[in-house]
Amino acid sequence: MKIEFLGTASAISIPRAGCACPVCTEARAKGLPYSRSGPGLFIHDLGLLIDTSEDINMQLNRAGIMHIDACLYSHWHPDHVLGYRVWEMNADLHHPGSTRPTDVYVPQQVAVDLRQFLGAWDQLTYAEQRGLVRLHELADGDTITLKDTRITPFRLAEDYVYAFLFEQGDRRVLIAPDELHNWAPPPEVHGVDLAILPIGVVEFHPLSGARQIPEDHYILQYEATLAQTLDMVRTMQPQHAILTHIDEPSRLGYDDYIRLEVKLQAEGLNIQFAYDTLQVEV
């Protein structure tokens, strides 16, 4: 599997408009890999996109991706779905009525939530009526087979969010786009070849140890921390882990993450921090 990180930010991209912090200032001056756009992954050999952030049009152009065979939605949050107008790409404007639809797979709870929030389901059904997508609602327990790969969506502890286990021959890849709060990795994902996980909020600076988020901050009640995410990696023992969903409030720039990689690898954790345009093969 060839996996490309189209975007590695969260709801707050880097640089954030109006922000003059050192991380955003550096990202404006240097661009990639210091800048980060909204969350998105593309698996090239499957033609599969996971989530559509508001930055998806730019990301597809940057990656040279001309068509998307299939798409999975992980949950309803705006930074993961509000790029749904990208499906207009499947219309041939020079030949009205001619389309190349994408198969869009929506897990059970995501389908419920998209009907409730953001007007997203109306947008997707409109796209289906125009022949731009084919919608597939997945009941919990359903699997998808694309080419030679079996994909199993499953709920996380925050049970409106899904992760995906990919099985291709003897290779296994776990992709959890967001929301690991209170999650305990089940045995089925232990020892995967690759785990792609959200970094979590950075409560303590991982290099200096300084507290970055006040102990009584509400975010700690709803989000996993970087330390908790690293404990999940230790439990899972993947061959390789890549952390993404990295935002400006972490106060860490690209160079900081490189230094942190070195530190963690010296501790025996094969962890990498993603950046926009990163490609990996499994």
pLDDT of residue 64: 98
What is the average pLDDT across 8-26? 96
Name, of 83-97, 204-218, 226-240, the range with top average pLDDT: 226-240
Nearest alpha carbon to residue 242 among 8, 6, 60: 8
Q: What's the rounded Cα separation, in Å, for the pair 139 and 106? A: 9
Residue 139 has pLDDT above 90, yes or no: yes
pLDDT of residue 20: 96
Distance of CA 104 to the CA centre of its chain: 16
pLDDT of residue 6: 99
pLDDT digits (tens, 9 = 90+) for 192-220: 999 999 999 999 999 999 999 999 999 99
Residue 93 has pLDDT above 90, yes or no: no
What is the average pLDDT across 253-278? 97
Query: In which region does residue 147 sit, left (phi positive, over 0), alpha (psi from -120 to 50) or beta (all else)?
Result: left
The amino acid at residue 218 is: Y
| pTM confidence score | 0.96
Residue 246 has pLDDT above 90, yes or no: yes
Helices 120-129 and 108-116, packing angle to 10 deg: 100
Given pLDDT bands bounded at 50, 70 and 90, which one contains residue 163? Answer: very high
**Number of continuous H segments (helices) and E segments (strands) in the chain:** 7, 14
What is the average pLDDT across 3-16? 97
Domains of the chain: 2-281 (3.60.15.10)
Alpha carbon distances (Å) from 62 to 7, 24, 152, 213 = 11, 21, 29, 34
pLDDT of residue 95: 82
